[in-house]
Structure 1
């Protein structure tokens, strides 16, 4: 349910469970972590995307009730993503929610389709977000807007996400991967040392 397409030094990691809105199980999260770790020494660009019209609904409902909603796997995944020395791009093919939000926040760049929605219903569900997510969210959109999402439970549209700085571009669905290719080009033609060096300087 986690597919990897390797196009030279660009890895496209695909959440492939469209019949369940790409909701994630513990095994899928572990597979994502292993894939991201493997990319560290081989990829100059890593792309996260999903199959179908939803990026990910977050935790699988049954797994969430069994404890996945508060599993350290989410934080492990987002931390591993954030620490990659390569360029990371979230190509959001649709709505994302809950823990999946953290995956996108940990990426360097975020693109989404026009009908994507963003929400993180921890207040309603009675869970705390993963520790790094609020800080990354506030760094992008500011404290008040982070509270709009996390505390007021607001569902954010693609247009709002763009104006808030949560995403970099809105791209029509059929052009999403073309846009990813364009953003990948400079990193793919540079040395791994150069890619990692610029990323470290921006930090």
Structure 2
């Protein structure tokens, strides 16, 4: 349910469970974290995307009820994405919800299709967000807007998300992956060491 394609230094990682809104099981999260860790050796760019019309609805409902919602695998995944020494791009093919926020927030860039919704309903569900997510979210949108999402439970649409800085670009539905590849062009032509060195220079 996780597809990986490697081409000229670009790793494209696709969450492929569209019949379940790309909801994530623990096994899928472990696989995503492993891929992000392995990207350190070869990838110059890693693109995260989803199959179908939703990027990810977050945790698989059955596994969430069994404890996945509070499992540390979410934090390990977002930490692995953040630590990857390559350029990381979230190509958001649709709505981003719940725990799936973590991996997108940990990416360097986020591009989205129109009409996507962004929400993280931890307050309503009685959970705390993943430990690193509030700081990453606040760094992008500011503390008040982070509280709008995390504490007030607001669903943010693409235009507002773009204005807030939660996403970096909105593109036509058919162009989101193509846009990610376009953004990858310069980095993919360099060595992994050069890409990593430049990434370390940017706070």
- How far apart are 1:8 and its partner, in Å? 2.0
Please state whether the residue corresponding to 1:40 is helix, strand or coil: helix
Question: Structure 2: which 5+ runs fail to align?
Answer: none
- How far apart are 1:94 and its partner, in Å? 0.2
Q: Are the aligned partners of 2:42 and 2:192 in contact in 1 as well (CA < 8 Å)?
A: no
Instruction: Tell me the TM-score normalised to structure 1 length.
Output: 0.99
How far apart are the structure 2 equivalents of 1:64 and 1:177?
A: 29
1:144-155 aligned at under 5 Å gives the runs 144-155=144-155
How far apart are the structure 2 equivalents of 1:183 and 1:104?
A: 16
How far apart are the structure 2 equivalents of 1:178 and 1:130?
A: 30
How far apart are the structure 2 equivalents of 1:13 and 1:191?
A: 20
Alignment partner of 1:196 is 2:196? yes
How far apart are the structure 1 equivalents of 2:62 and 2:100?
A: 16
How far apart are the structure 1 equivalents of 2:68 and 2:170?
A: 31
Q: Are the aligned partners of 2:92 and 2:110 in contact in 1 as well (CA < 8 Å)?
A: yes
Question: Structure 1: which 5+ runs fail to align?
Answer: none
- How far apart are 1:110 and its partner, in Å? 0.1
Alignment partner of 1:87 is 2:87? yes
- Paired position in structure 1 for 2:13: 13
- How far apart are 1:68 and its partner, in Å? 0.2
Q: Are the aligned partners of 2:57 and 2:96 in contact in 1 as well (CA < 8 Å)?
A: yes
How far apart are the structure 2 equivalents of 1:178 and 1:90?
A: 12
- Paired position in structure 1 for 2:75: 75
Deviations 1:124-183 (A, max 9, x none): 000000000000000000000000000000000000010000111001111112211110
Alignment partner of 1:54 is 2:50? no
- Superposition misfits of 4+ residues, deviation over 2 angstroms: none
How far apart are the structure 1 equivalents of 2:55 and 2:177?
A: 14
Q: What is the aligned-residue RMSD (CA, Å)?
A: 0.6
How far apart are the structure 1 equivalents of 2:118 and 2:150?
A: 11
